[in-house]
Amino acid sequence: MSRLIGESLESVMKSHKQLNITYPSADETLYGTPEIIPTSEPGTAQVIYTISSSHLPTLSFEPINKKLLAGVVVSGKNLTASSQTLNYRVLKNGTSLTTGTLSIAANYYWTLSIYNSALNNIAENDEIDIALWTANSNSLDLRYKACFVTCDGIQLEKINQVLLDLQYTVSSTSYPSLTLGTPGAMYGSGSAMRVYADNNTKYFTNIGNGIFTIKAFVIGSTYLSHALQLNTSINANTHASYMPYYAANVRVTSISWRPTSIEL
C-alpha cells in the first residue's frame, strides 16, 4: 500500500465500465390439447428442454466470469372432484436432481416453478427434463410449460481488486413475465443483488427496484453479484384460477463501475 501513497488518483483509476444485460422472453407453450399425466413414472419425461442460444441473456460484453441459472415452469389441472397428488422428478443431462410431491385440491390448477440450485451453472446444450406422474388415472393433466435462463452471478474484476462507484439498475418489472394461459405471478422477497466483500464474510444487499450505488468495495468472491434471486428450489403451488401460478422477481439490467489498479 505504501507504494500507492504518492500516486495521484488518476494514476490508479481505470476507465469506467458498464455492463448491460438483456433477457429474452420465456420460451412458453400452451398445450392445444392437455396431456393426461400417467399413473407411473414415464420412461421419457413429458417436459424436455435443451438450452439453446435463444434462451440465454445477452450481455453487452463478456465479464471475467458468470453463472447462468435456468428456470422451468410447468402447470396443469386436477380434473376430479377430489384431492390428487402429483409426483415429479427433475433431471439435468440425465442425472436426477430432485423429486417431490404436490397435493392438489379438487378442480384446482397446479404449478411447479423449478429454480433448483442444481440448475445453476447451466450452459448451452444442457438438457432439463421434468417427469410427472400420479396415482389415479385421468385425474391430472399437463397444459403449460415454459423455460428461461438468467444471469445469477457475475465476476466483474479480479479477486482483491478495489472498485469505485459500483452502480446497478434493477428492473421495475418481474422476470419471467409469462403471458400464455391465465398467469399469476408471486413476487419474490429475496434481494435483487448481493455484492460480496472480505472473502464472502460481509456483503451489501438491496431489495426492490431502482438504481443503487456503492461507493467503494473490494472483490472478495469469485461471483460478486447475484443478478436475480428467485427461490433457488422448487415452488409448488395451486390456485383456483391462475394457470400458471408462478414465482418471479426483479432482475438487474445494468451494472457500472470504475476499476482501480489497487489490489489488497
pLDDT in tens, the chain (264 residues): 545 444 555 677 788 899 999 999 999 999 999 999 999 999 999 999 999 999 999 999 998 888 888 999 999 999 999 999 999 999 999 999 989 999 999 999 999 998 866 687 899 999 999 999 999 999 999 999 999 998 877 778 777 777 777 777 777 777 889 999 999 988 654 444 555 544 444 444 554 445 555 555 454 433 444 433 444 467 889 999 999 999 887 777 888 888 888 776
Over the Cα atoms of the chain, what is R_g? 22
Q: Tell me, what's the pLDDT at 229?
A: 42
Q: Tell me, what's the pLDDT at 191?
A: 44
Q: Tell me, what's the pLDDT at 223?
A: 41
> For residue 42, which of 124, 131, 107, 120 has the smallest C-alpha distance?
131
How wide is the angle at C-alpha 124 spanned by C-alphas 168 and 41, nearest 5°?
115
Q: Residues with Cβ < 8 Å from 75, sequence gap 6 or more?
A: 109, 110, 111, 112, 142, 143, 144, 145, 181, 243, 244, 245, 246
Q: Residues with Cβ < 8 Å from 78, sequence gap 6 or more?
A: 84, 104, 105, 106, 107, 108, 109, 110, 139, 140
The burial of 187, by beta-carbon neighbours within 10 Å (0-12 exposed, 13-18 middle, 19 or more buried), is given as exposed
- What is this structure's pTM? 0.84
Range of the domain at 90: 2-263
Q: Tell me, what's the pLDDT at 153?
A: 74
Number of domains, the chain: 1
Q: Tell me, what's the pLDDT at 137?
A: 97
